[in-house]
Amino acid sequence: MKQVEPSIAIARKHPSWIFQVVTADGEGKPNAMPASWCTFCSADPIMMAVSVAFQRYTHKLLEETDDFVLAFPNKEQKEAVYYCGRSSGKNVDKFEKTNLETLPSSEVDSPLIEDSVACFECKKSGSIESGDHTIFVGEVVATHVSDDFTEKIYTTEGWHEKGAEGFKTISEMRNRT
């Protein structure tokens, strides 16, 4: 083992799963932001946490609402996920600009994203500031899976520069030459 700069060690975390953090504003307009800093944080009850930077529009929405949805995107949603990460819902309607469609959730106000591999409806139970981010924790109150898609996408090293091509399924990564 040798000591290195944090950026070198952090680069080795890839592949890393990616979620769309789905929220809605006070008028019900949905927003989606990709995030890989999501995790399960309790088994009983099932709880999940997501870390969001203070300056993000999604942060504002998470502070103002009591719920959110975490959605695993499928491989056909790569371009939409990349667009959602490069655009602010404060300025554009991401669902209008992409092929993403919403479905009503069963237990929360934030919508599901149709054809996601899996969606987790979460009722916000708390938050904690962590450096330049806030970690939002939610109890999973309902879950949904796709009938058509089973493979979620992951971020790969350098995905910011690669665009949507930086998102891969496990099958795509195994088939690399």
Residue 7 falls within a domain, yes or no? no
Number of structural domains the chain divides into: 1
Residue 91 falls within a domain, yes or no? yes
Residue 157 falls within a domain, yes or no? yes
Indicate if the pLDDT at residue 122 is higher than 70: yes
Indicate if the pLDDT at residue 73 is higher than 70: yes
CA distance 160 to 75: 17
* Residue 6 and residue 25 in contact, taking contact as beta carbons nearer than 8 Å: no
**CATH number of the domain that residue 136 is part of:** 2.30.110.10
Domain that holds residue 165: 15-174
Indicate if the pLDDT at residue 111 is higher than 50: yes
Tokens of 95: 């669902």
Tokens of 103: 């479905």
Determine how many CB atoms are found less than 10 A away from the CB of residue 9: 10
CA distance 6 to 140: 32
Give the whole-number percent of the chain exceeding pLDDT 70: 99
Residue 9 falls within a domain, yes or no? no
pLDDT digits (tens, 9 = 90+) for 7-29: 899 888 888 899 999 999 999 99
**Spacing of C-alpha 43 from chain mean position:** 20
Residue 10: the pLDDT is: 85
Mean of pLDDT over the chain? 94
Indicate if the pLDDT at residue 177 is higher than 50: no
What band does 165 get if pLDDT is binned at 50, 70 and 90?
A: confident
Tokens of 7: 């950026």
Residue 158 falls within a domain, yes or no? yes
Residue 48 falls within a domain, yes or no? yes
Residue 114 falls within a domain, yes or no? yes
Tokens of 2: 């040798």
Residue 176: the pLDDT is: 63
Indicate if the pLDDT at residue 158 is higher than 80: no
71-105 core/surface letters (b: 16 or more CB in 10 A; e: else):
bbbbeebbebbbbbbebebeeeebbeebebebeeb
Residue 2 falls within a domain, yes or no? no
